[in-house]
Amino acid sequence: MAFRILIITDRPFFWGQRTDPEVQNCEHVESVIRILLKNGFLVEVEEIIDCATGFFHRTDGSVFDRVICISERSINGLWSGVEEKIREKMRDWDSIIEYNIGKSDDVTLLEEFGAVIDSRSSSEEDMILQLLKALRESCESSNEERTEMLMRVICNSTEANRSSIIRGLGGHMAFSSQLIRLSRIMGEYFDGGEEHRVFVNNDVPEITRALIELFLVETGVTAEQYVGMAKSKSKVDFARKLFLSSTSEFSGNISLRICFGAESWEQIVQIVRRDFANDFELFEHWTKISPSCYDAWEIRSRSLWDNGSREECGKVAEEALVFHPDSEILHRRIAHGHREREDHEKAIEIEELIFENGNLSQLDTSIYLCRSYCAIEDWGNALKYIQIGLDIDPEREELNRRKNMVTERISGRKD
């Protein structure tokens, strides 16, 4: 488990525009953050004034292993009761480390953590992954102050750059109302990005400009290439080119938000079904950048089935099962692939489990099982599932026809 450190500091750290003295003070805070992250500590930051009220807007109810106060003032010079409020955030009632700007140095600070550093098992990369996860969760809960704080901490990592941070945001972050703010914060910490802004018309809404910038930074698509794609013959063609240039679920969703104004994952799925039917190249790319997205695999495999590529449908379903092992629909499509290859024993094994679970249509499963049992001439089991199917639908033509055929085979065998 990561060693968690809370830094409490003054307001300028959380501001984008700072005076010269404030910039210098913030550099001290950021230097400490970089050192702690590099040494495998999980870092979060609160504003000193919030500690006075006891309302920790940025860290909620989280508890930390150690607290560092970074300020020009000592804790004793702060408001009455602040120290007691701060101690509520500490796992153990240890001393609060004071880093007085102008008097402390980073070497002395690290000496405070020497034993922990020597025994730690976490890496900076691990910390960034945990912070990105926390960032996604804070966006989902609309905690803007926490989201901004986490982004500032992440941007101070030596392991992070704008592209990797954007890629780590995750697909659902493409619809966050906080993307403009997050884009601005990244612009404070990283050079570049200006070349992505100059070609965008100022009449374009700010959110669209932010989306385009985020897309270009993550994917590496140049402004010139983007303009070329934007001249496509139709919006659908433009969206297709953008989507195929995406490198993650986030930029894939962003591309369709730019072109169609998609505001949710459900709308993304609707757009793909509506405008890219049977676009197998796009579907393959979708499952590549979004392997954890069940809808992507479902749509891709279903389109192959509808197109008559049933064996290929089964192969794609097998790929998908690595990410979605509990999907009985994918198991069913793998069974279809086995039947196409006339490997009925494997198909039966899958369908028997599906039948036992009872989550899919028992009628359909009975029909698939009777077909496979007929194919391997196991007439007893074929008749068993034919009868189960007829109990559900007595008028089903295929089952009645097969029942007559199987009954004749069994009678002939007895004769």
Residues 102 and 211 in one domain: no
Cβ neighbours for 187, distance < 8 A, ≥ 6 positions apart: 193
- Please state, in angstroms and rounded to a whole number, the distance separating the CA atoms of residues 210 and 162: 13
Express each pLDDT in 16-36 by its tens digit. Answer: 656 666 666 778 888 889 988
pLDDT exceeds 60 at position 129: yes
pLDDT exceeds 70 at position 95: no
What token pair was written down for 292?
Answer: 């954890």
Residues 8 and 124 in one domain: yes
Stretch 87-94: mean pLDDT: 75
- Going edge to edge, which strands form the sheet with 66-71? 41-47, 3-9, 66-71, 97-100
Mean pLDDT lowest among 53-62, 93-102, 145-154, 379-388: 93-102
Final residue of a structural domain among 258, 276, 294: 276
Q: Is residue 192 domain-resident?
A: yes
Distances (CA, A) of 36 to 23, 96, 124, 359, 388: 20, 16, 9, 50, 65
Residues 272 and 172 in one domain: yes
pLDDT exceeds 70 at position 3: yes
Mean pLDDT lowest among 95-104, 143-152, 371-380: 95-104
Residues 271 and 378 in one domain: no
Domain range for 25 is 3-129
Stretch 330-359: mean pLDDT: 95
Residues 45 and 124 in one domain: yes
pLDDT band at 376 (very low <50, low <70, confident <90, very high): very high
- Please state, in angstroms and rounded to a whole number, the distance separating the CA atoms of residues 177 and 121: 36
Give pLDDT, residue 199.
56
Residues 9 and 120 in one domain: yes
Q: Is residue 325 domain-resident?
A: no
Express each pLDDT in 141-199 by its tens digit. Answer: 888 899 999 999 999 998 888 888 888 888 888 888 888 888 888 888 886 555 555 45
pLDDT band at 344 (very low <50, low <70, confident <90, very high): very high
Residues 178 and 271 in one domain: yes
54: helix, coil or strand? coil
| Number of domains forming the structure of the chain | 3
**Composition of the chain by helix, strand, coil, percent to 5:** 65, 5, 30
Residues 170 and 236 in one domain: yes
pLDDT exceeds 80 at position 265: yes
Give pLDDT, residue 111.
66
pLDDT band at 69 (very low <50, low <70, confident <90, very high): confident
Residues 261 and 370 in one domain: no
Distances (CA, A) of 25 to 13, 22, 48, 186, 243: 8, 5, 14, 19, 43
Stretch 223-244: mean pLDDT: 94
- Please state, in angstroms and rounded to a whole number, the distance separating the CA atoms of residues 377 and 288: 41
- Residues found in the chain: 415
Residue scoring higher pLDDT (9 or 99): 9
Final residue of a structural domain among 246, 276, 306: 276
Give pLDDT, residue 28.
82
Residues 96 and 211 in one domain: no
Give pLDDT, residue 195.
55
DSSP state of 12: G
Cβ contact 235:260 at 8 Å: yes
- Please state, in angstroms and rounded to a whole number, the distance separating the CA atoms of residues 344 and 118: 58
Cβ neighbours for 107, distance < 8 A, ≥ 6 positions apart: none
Other C-beta atoms closer than 10 Å to the C-beta of 147 total 24
- Please state, in angstroms and rounded to a whole number, the distance separating the CA atoms of residues 203 and 186: 23
Q: What are phi and psi of 160, to 5 degrees?
A: -105, 145
